[in-house]
A and B are shown apart, each in its own frame.
Chain A
Amino acid sequence: MQQSAVTVKGWADIPPAVLGRREHDDGKPSITYRSAGDRYLLVEYGPMEFDLTLNFYVHSVEAKLEEVGLDGLVETSPGFRSMLVSYDAATVKPTDLVRELDAVHDDLPGVDGLVLPSRLFRLPACFDDSQSRQAVERYARSIRPDAPNCVNDNNIDYTLQYNGLRDLDELVEHVTATDLWTGFIGFFPGLPFMFPVDPRHVLFAPKYNPTRTWTAEGAIGLGGPCYSIYPVESPGGYQLIGRTLPIFDPQQRNPIFAEDPIMVKPGDRIRFHQVSEDELLDTFARVHTGEYEYQVEDGTLDVAAHLAWSAQHREEAEEWARIRDSAAAVTEVP
């Protein structure tokens, strides 16, 4: 079809998606304001890089917006390095809201001094479990038989290949050796998007193409640098590597859900430890009878301390990244 964009009726007369940008300064990331339909703005921070400090900054903006409350702002939905802002079109114009958001960003300090509240959950996980295999098998049979990420009816082989790992044990070692930082909650109710705090244990995986229509409750997925736990049976696009306990229960069958059916909050950390599938299923059942007590500790994440610690391990992390990236470079993408 030999048509240029300007021939699309109406498109050329419509203002561009980008409503404004500001450069990074004073320990704060750059910001891009994008229009996202007739009721939303998307605010993006920094470049599209896996840099946890961008997410720490999002947490600080979110807290500030809750504190000040802007006219016409309905709700915010944070992402890894972004924030979707929903507004009431009858109260505020998007360009005015951008100006007000810009003023909020002016008033915020940089990320270095932040100390963020952060609980630590220790969760059992079984890897290469039967439910994940079933989801992959179902996908390969009914949606995409030639998907390179679903060879042998599992996503483990592909995840190993993409990251240059020898075997499942090495994968498990990486996943369980680091706390995972909950950057934000989204997708479906209570689903945490979690990122490795230790740069020496970062794994990557492309997402499904197209996505799955079914995933088991409690499945652990990896997409890009991000882990997720599926809170309900749902569609999904992350590579499935294992399964853990329920994290969402509107029936509130365990004391952990007594105050809130959503267990994990933004800023919480998760640490997995490996158990057998039998043990996991047994614990799963004990969650529902209310007998199982979730292992959770209060704590904080000190951004300056985290940055100093990461710097100490930079060389090791960079070496691991080289190995991983060279494996990814020769692996087919779905």
Chain B
Amino acid sequence: MTIEVLQPGIQTTVQDYPGRVGLMSRGFFPAGAMDHLALRLGNALVGNEPGDAALEVALGKAKLRFDRAAVVALTGATVEATVDGEPVPSWQAVEVPAGGELRLGIAKGPGFRVYIAVAGGIDVPEVFGARATYTMGALGGVEGRALRKGDVLPVGEPRRASRGSLDQSRLPAYVNEWDLEVVPGPHASEEFLAEEDVALLFTRQWTVDRNSNRTGIRLDAQRLTWARSNGGIAGGHPSNILDNGYPVGGINLNGDTPVILGPDGPTSGGFVVVAVVAHASMWKLGQMRPGADKITLRPVSVEQAQALADEQNALVEEVRAA
């Protein structure tokens, strides 16, 4: 079975979860779904394994044709969608007849990325162990790039029949003002940050810069006091350190500009990392609207962050088993 791309939207890519793990020392961040929760839930609804490859559609506005009957689920940002002109709901499995056309309108928000999971999963070849598109390295997905009109995507054999749906009360909350759970980063210590810097970083509200994408979410420039006057031999600015590995979701202070590292971000660099997004909350990065949404950073402990992940995994498992 195949899907033909009639209209690709502004950036539609094949993504999976957890992406390419084990290649950080070679300069690869994992790539994979920017909203890993929506991808996993979508897959669970159509009877796939939670990490199977699906489509990530930034801002919606896409049109696909299915050559054979298929079961799909739309998750992520709210969007008006039709199959052959008939409206279809999100967050539940829906059938597309052979030759049917799935059309997505524009995702007006809250939320930014729509996911289309298809029973059987998108069956592009694995590259370095994953199907996820990594545009920075031009690999994975379809030729390492966003989809174009006329691309034809192979779909795998459905693993099992599924007609899942997700109760409204269980849906992740999509908002325009986000609370983002973060764990202290390696440089959240008095050697680097002044006390008032900590207060500022974790109390003010930040705006998601319009130059935000899968490599990272840029926040507003903010001059800090800093505990030291410069970066010593690593560079003149106190945010500079001798280059080290970055965690996925790390919030680095790039000079005066905080950047939250997304799934296509750089694996290392020479800026302090003051906080790290809890893995369970990484999905929110995928739903933040560039140039519009606001964020408040909410500190949690490692244990609290891991408890959030356990809760989230349990939800995915429950939907998958239903």
Interfacial residues, chain A to chain B (CB-CB below 8 A): 1, 3-5, 7-11, 13-18, 34-40, 42, 44, 48-50, 62, 74-84, 86, 89, 94, 184-191, 193, 204-211, 213, 223-226, 231-232, 234-235, 237, 248, 250, 262, 266, 328, 333-334
Contact = CB atoms under 8 A, between A and B. Distances in A.
A49 B233 contact: yes
A100 to B, nearest CB: 17
A186 B267 contact: yes
Interface string B269-283: 111010111110000
Contacts of B298: 9-10
Given A37-B277, A184-B25, 7 more contacts: A10-B301, A16-B189, A37-B247, A83-B245, A89-B302, A207-B240, A223-B270
A232 B267 contact: no
Contacts of A185: 25-27
Nearest to A15: B301
A210 B256 contact: yes
Contacts, number: 249
B137 A237 contact: no
The 3 A-B pairs of least Cβ separation, nearest first, read: A37-B276, A333-B236, A84-B245
Nearest to B249: A37
A40 B242 contact: no
A81 B255 contact: no
Contacts of A250: 127, 137-139, 144
A235 B213 CA distance: 12
B21 interface: yes
Given A79-B243, A185-B27, A210-B255, A35 B270 contact: no
B115 interface: no
A235 B305 CA distance: 30
Contacts of A223: 235, 243, 270
A38 B139 contact: no
A14 B27 contact: no
B205 to A, nearest CB: 12
Contacts of A205: 235
Contacts of A8: 198-199, 202-203, 299
26 contacts: A1-B200, A1-B203, A3-B196, A8-B203, A10-B299, A11-B184, A15-B301, A15-B302, A16-B184, A35-B302, A36-B247, A39-B248, A74-B22, A75-B21, A75-B25, A76-B24, A77-B24, A80-B242, A94-B302, A186-B25, A204-B233, A206-B237, A207-B235, A207-B237, A224-B231, A334-B255
B25 A76 contact: yes
B29 to A, nearest CB: 9
B300 interface: yes
A191 to B, nearest CB: 5
Contacts of A44: 244
Given A8-B198, A77-B245, A208 B255 contact: yes
Contacts of B188: 17
Contact of B233 (A18, A42, A50, A78): A50
A120 to B, nearest CB: 20
A10 B27 CA distance: 34
A38 B245 contact: no
A208 B243 CA distance: 14
A1 B27 contact: no
